[in-house]
Structure 1
Amino acid sequence: MADAVLIAAQAGRALAEAARRAGLRAYVADLFGDSDTLALAEAYRLLPGRFGTAPAADATLAALDDLAAQAGSPVGLILGSGFEDAPDLIARLAARHRLIGASAGTVAALKDPLAFAALCARLGVPHPAVATEPPPDPTAWLLKQVGGSGGSHIRPASRSTVPAGHYLQAHMPGRPHALNFLADGRTIHILAVTEQWCAPSPIRPFRYAGALARGTGESPSLSARIVEAVAAGTERIVAATGLRGLASADLLVDGADWWLTEVNPRPGATLDILDRRGTPLLAAHIAACLGTMPDLGAHPAGAAAAQICYADRELAPVPDLDWPDCVRDRPCPGTVVRRDAPLCTVLAEGADRAEVLALLETRTANLRAVCAAKKTHPEEAPS
């Protein structure tokens, strides 16, 4: 029988699917329990909480203890998003289950804004200035939540007092990219440079939308000089913090200038589009965390992208749809998806960037049209 692995995240589907590709049985705890996750998981537990904050500690511990008992002897616990602002919870989890990923100390070092800024300064890595007091000119600053993910927590700064659990970061120019890598606590193996974009809403101007990895035959999105500099700086951070496993370094690039905004010490939103090599990425993640950097195989030839489709209207309840194969994170029929909340993830692969972006646009538009038709005329829309 295949090995079992415990997974806990805000949304665990991508990790559960990656576990399946790696020949592992996934035992999952998350906040959503969407149709895909339920189909992929050997067993599932719903965590209380809301997206953007760490799940309740005691409930998470109890859920994973229960799943571990059902799994028998799992190889360990893999954490996704949602734990970046809770290193104490990570430490409690690591005391009960073999943690496969960044340690509590590593997460604390990387996600404490002031400590991370000081680390970047010491290691010579360009990083936006950070502050905790209201700035004289708020237009040059952003308000961020400590340990936040997905961009929905980012707001323009104001002259008001900085709320607890938040900090200010200088608003730098440039386009967002990420260096996706595998780390073994000392060195890194670059997986890809991905382009990122936002899906702004009136109250969430920096809300994450999607990411794209170009094909091998295309011009790279960043120059070799910038990639080498970012990789060198990231490797210094990895060596200083002992980071292990799949991770990503978010950056802004403006011409020849770049700034590392944060390091995400976990498998991220690009897992769907990067897990196309000979070695499954979750198997590589486990190997690197145990101290062996695996051979990942050749980079995929084609381009790939994933984009979150946010609901443009409230779906209460979600209709019973015949979801296309390109969709993941499908909400269960009868559940409620509020307007502007994530509805699902849309995937696309193609020969190059242009083809993939066109596919994403067409598929997302078609999906919205089907949802609208089903809501307006439930007896007429396809099911």
Structure 2
Amino acid sequence: MADAILIATQAGRALAQAARRAGLRPYVADLFGDSDTLAAAEAYRPLPGRFGTAPCAAETLAALDDLAGAAGHPLGLVLGSGFEDAPGLVAEFARRHRLLGATAETIVSLKDPVAFAALCARHDVPHPAIALDPPAEPSRWLLKRTGGSGGGHIRAATRSSAPPGHYFQARVPGRAHALNVLADGRAIRILAATEQWCAPTPIRPYRYAGAVTRGAAEPPALPERLVAAIADATARIVAATGLRGLASADILVDGADWWLMEINPRPGATLDLLDRRPVPLLGAHIGACLGAMPELGAPPVGAAAAQICYADRELAPVPDHDWPDCVRDRPRPGSVVRRDAPLCTVLAEGADRAEALDLLESRTACLRAALAAQKT
């Protein structure tokens, strides 16, 4: 029988499907319990909480212990998003289960803003200035939540003090990219350089929307020399922190200048785009975490894109919709999706970036039209 694997994250569908592709049996705990998550999971437990904040520690531990009992002898635990601001909880996970990913100590090094800024300074990595006190010129600064993910926590700074668990970061120019890598605690292998974009709202101007990875035959998203510099910086930080597994370095690029904004020490939102190589990426993640960096095989030939479709109105309840094959993270019929919350994820592939993005936009528009028609 295939090995069982525990998964805990905010939204577990991508990791559950990646586990199936890697020949594993996923036992999943997440916030949503989407239809395709339940279909992929060997067993499922719901987590309490709200998207963008760490789930309740006691209930998360109980859910994972219950899943581990159902699994018998799981290979270990893989974490997705939602725990970067809870290193103490991650440490408790590691005491109960074999943790396949970043340790609590690594997460502190990468996600504590003061520690990460100092780490970048020691290794000569360009990183925006950070501050804990209110800035004198707030228009030049942003307010961020420590350990936040998805961009929805980022606001324009004011002269007010930062709330608990927040900090200020200097604004820098540039377009958003990510260098997606596999790390073994000493070195990295590059998976792709992806381009990212936002779905802003008046109160969430930096909310993450989606990403695209280019086809093998088209010009790369970033010049080779720039990728080499970013990869070298990322590798130095990996060696300094012992980071293992799938990770992404979020960067802003402005011509020849670039800044490392953060490193996400976990499989991220682009897993669907990246997991198209001959070697299943979750299997590679586990191998790297156990000290054996695998060969990944040739990169995908075509381009791929994915974006989150946020609800433009409240769906209470969600209708029993006939979701097209390109849609993932499908909410269960009868569940509730609040306005501006993630509704689903739309995927598209193409020969090149333009074709993938055009198809992505047309599919998203068709989906919204079909949902609106079903409403009426």
TM over 0.5: yes
Partner of 1:334: 334
Please give the alpha-carbon distance, in whole angstroms, between the structure 1 residues aligned to 2:109 and 2:15. 24
Partner of 1:75: 75
AA paired with 2:159? R
Describe the superposition over 1:98-148 as per-residue Cα deviations: whole angstroms up to 9, x where unpaired. Answer: 000001100111000010000000000000000011111111100000000
Please give the alpha-carbon distance, in whole angstroms, between the structure 1 residues aligned to 2:367 and 2:260. 35
Shift of 1:220: 0.7
AA paired with 1:142? L
AA paired with 2:88? D
AA paired with 2:24? L
Partner of 1:36: 36
Task: Tell me, yes or no, if the aligned pair for 1:315 and 1:375 is still in contact at 8 Å.
Answer: no
Partner of 2:364: 364
Describe the superposition over 1:35-93 as per-residue Cα deviations: whole angstroms up to 9, x where unpaired. Answer: 01111101000011111111111111110010000001110000000000001000001
Residue 357 of structure 1 aligns to a residue whose secondary structure is: helix
Please give the alpha-carbon distance, in whole angstroms, between the structure 1 residues aligned to 2:202 and 2:261. 23
Residue 162 of structure 2 aligns to a residue whose secondary structure is: coil
Please give the alpha-carbon distance, in whole angstroms, between the structure 2 residues aligned to 1:221 and 1:90. 34
Partner of 1:192: 192
Partner of 1:345: 345
Please give the alpha-carbon distance, in whole angstroms, between the structure 1 residues aligned to 2:221 and 2:213. 9
Partner of 2:17: 17
1:310 aligns with 2:310: yes
Partner of 2:248: 248
Residue 19 of structure 2 aligns to a residue whose secondary structure is: helix
Shift of 1:221: 1.0
AA paired with 2:147? G
1:101 aligns with 2:137: no
AA paired with 1:209? A
Residue 361 of structure 1 aligns to a residue whose secondary structure is: helix
Shift of 1:315: 1.1
Please give the alpha-carbon distance, in whole angstroms, between the structure 1 residues aligned to 2:137 and 2:357. 37
C-alpha RMSD over aligned residues: 0.5
Partner of 1:320: 320
Map 1:1-383 → 2, pairs under 5 A? 1-376=1-376
Describe the superposition over 1:193-249 as per-residue Cα deviations: whole angstroms up to 9, x where unpaired. Answer: 000000001110000000110000010111111100000000000000000000000
Describe the superposition over 1:325-375 as per-residue Cα deviations: whole angstroms up to 9, x where unpaired. Answer: 000000001111111111000000110000000001000000000111111
- TM-score w.r.t. length of structure 2: 0.99
Describe the superposition over 1:260-295 as per-residue Cα deviations: whole angstroms up to 9, x where unpaired. Answer: 000000000010010000100000000000001100
Please give the alpha-carbon distance, in whole angstroms, between the structure 1 residues aligned to 2:163 and 2:235. 33
Residue 29 of structure 2 aligns to a residue whose secondary structure is: strand
Please give the alpha-carbon distance, in whole angstroms, between the structure 1 residues aligned to 2:371 and 2:224. 43
Shift of 1:312: 1.1
Shift of 1:317: 1.0
Please give the alpha-carbon distance, in whole angstroms, between the structure 1 residues aligned to 2:326 and 2:3. 28
Residue 98 of structure 1 aligns to a residue whose secondary structure is: coil
AA paired with 1:129? A
Please give the alpha-carbon distance, in whole angstroms, between the structure 2 residues aligned to 1:154 and 1:161. 15
AA paired with 2:334? G
Please give the alpha-carbon distance, in whole angstroms, between the structure 2 residues aligned to 1:311 and 1:285. 32
AA paired with 2:135? P
Please give the alpha-carbon distance, in whole angstroms, between the structure 1 residues aligned to 2:217 and 2:177. 19
Task: Tell me, yes or no, if the aligned pair for 1:215 and 1:303 is still in contact at 8 Å.
Answer: yes
Please give the alpha-carbon distance, in whole angstroms, between the structure 2 residues aligned to 1:111 and 1:161. 20
Task: Tell me, yes or no, if the aligned pair for 1:315 and 1:339 is still in contact at 8 Å.
Answer: yes
Residue 269 of structure 1 aligns to a residue whose secondary structure is: coil
Please give the alpha-carbon distance, in whole angstroms, between the structure 1 residues aligned to 2:34 and 2:216. 34
AA paired with 2:256? A
AA paired with 1:351? A
Residue 195 of structure 1 aligns to a residue whose secondary structure is: strand
Residue 152 of structure 1 aligns to a residue whose secondary structure is: coil
Shift of 1:314: 1.3
Task: Tell me, yes or no, if the aligned pair for 1:329 and 1:344 is still in contact at 8 Å.
Answer: yes
Please give the alpha-carbon distance, in whole angstroms, between the structure 1 residues aligned to 2:96 and 2:277. 32
Please give the alpha-carbon distance, in whole angstroms, between the structure 1 residues aligned to 2:48 and 2:165. 20
Please give the alpha-carbon distance, in whole angstroms, between the structure 1 residues aligned to 2:2 and 2:152. 37
Percent of aligned positions that are identical: 76
Please give the alpha-carbon distance, in whole angstroms, between the structure 2 residues aligned to 1:371 and 1:9. 27
- TM-score w.r.t. length of structure 1: 0.98
Residue 5 of structure 1 aligns to a residue whose secondary structure is: strand
Q: Which runs of 5+ in 2 are unaligned?
A: none
Partner of 1:379: none
